Amino acid sequence: MRAVLTLGAALLAGWLGLSTHMTAQGASTCDRVCLEDVMTRFLNSMVAHDPKVAPLADNVRYTEDTVVKPVGDGFWKTATRIRAYRTDFLDVRQSTAAVHTVMEENGAPVLFAARLKVVNRKITEIETMVVRNAQEAMLFSPDTLKEKSVTMTTMPDKAQLTPRQQMIDIAQRYPAGLRAGSFVKADVPLTATAYRFENGVRMAGPGCTFQPPGCIDMKNQRIPTLPEVKSRVVAVDEENGLVLLRLDFGAGSLPGGATPRVLVTFEGFKVFNGQVHAVEAIFKAMPPNTPSGWEN
C-alpha cells in the first residue's frame, strides 16, 4: 500500500511540475496576438509620451535613426497621433514585431518604422526610423497612405505560403538585383502585377508615377547598379507571407552633393507562392557607412 501511495505521489508531483513548467513557458511565449498587442502598446506609449504604457524590460535599449537615446526621448516626446496605415511584421519564431506606419507630429505626417525584440513578453530592443519630410528622404508622400495596405495585410491561404528560408532567399534576391543593376539578372521572382511603394510614392508596377511606362513592369524596370548594398533580415512573418529587410543602399543611391548621403530602408516584401507580389519601403537619407547601432 505504501509503495502504491509513494508511486501515486511521485506521479502527481511530476504532473504538477510539468503543469507549472508549461504554464510558465506559456506565459513567456509571445504569439501573433501577443506581438501585435506589444506593438500597439508601444505605439500608444509614444503618442501618450509615456514609456510606462509599453511593456518595457528593465534593460531595454532604444535607437532612433541609428542613434542610441534614453527611453522616452526623441520622437517619443513629440508623436501626437497614429494614422490608419499600418503593416505589422510579426515574427513569432524570433519573437520580433516590426511595423510600417504613418504617425503625426503636431498635425504633420511622419513615416515611421520600428523593430521590437520581445523577451518574456517585455520589449528589450527598440530600433526606429523617423522620416518627416522630403529633405530627409528625397521621396515623401505619406498622405497617399490613407489606409492599411490590402496586399500587405491580407493573409494568403496556407497552401500558398512559402517556407521561411525560401521566403528569405527570395527577398534577398532583391538587393542582389540592385547590386547587379538588374532584377532580371538576379532572377527576382516578381509577379507581372508586382508594385513598389517608396515613402508613399508608387515607383513601380501598374499605376506607377516614376518615368512611365518603363516603370510598369517592375522586373524589367531600369535600375541603377549599386554594388555596395548591404542587407539584414529584420523579421519574417511566416503566416502572412512578409519579409522585412533593412537595406543600406551604399554609394550612388542618392545624387551627389556637398554632403554625401545614402538611402537606408526598412523594405517589406509580400512573398507567397514562391513570388514577390509587392514591395513597400520606408527610407531615409543618412551619411555613408552609418552603423545601424545593432551590429552586435
pLDDT over 50 (residue 7): no
* Preceding omega of 213 cis (within 30 degrees of 0): yes
Question: Is 121 in contact with 92 (CB distance < 8 Å)?
Answer: no
**Mean pLDDT, the chain, whole residue set:** 91
pLDDT over 90 (residue 218): yes
Instruction: Indicate the pLDDT class of residue 108, thresholds 50, 70 and 90.
Output: very high
Instruction: Indicate the pLDDT class of residue 121, thresholds 50, 70 and 90.
Output: very high
**Higher-scoring residue by pLDDT: 14, 231:** 231
In the numeric block, the cell 548591404 is attached to 230
pLDDT over 60 (residue 244): yes
pLDDT over 70 (residue 133): yes
Model confidence over 204-215: pLDDT tens digits?
Answer: 999 998 889 999
pLDDT of residue 25: 39
Model confidence over 49-84: pLDDT tens digits?
Answer: 999 999 999 999 999 999 999 999 999 999 999 999
- Residue 115 three-state SS: strand
**Higher-scoring residue by pLDDT: 218, 29:** 218
Q: Measured between alpha carbons, how far is 70 from 247 in angstroms, rounded to an integer?
A: 25
pLDDT of residue 102: 98
Residues in the chain: 296
Question: Is 293 in contact with 66 (CB distance < 8 Å)?
Answer: yes
User: Domains along the chain?
Assistant: 32-132 (3.10.450.50), 151-286 (3.10.450.50)
Model confidence over 19-49: pLDDT tens digits?
Answer: 333 333 344 689 999 999 999 999 999 999 9
Instruction: Indicate the pLDDT class of residue 119, thresholds 50, 70 and 90.
Output: very high
Q: State pTM to two decimals.
A: 0.90
pLDDT of residue 6: 43
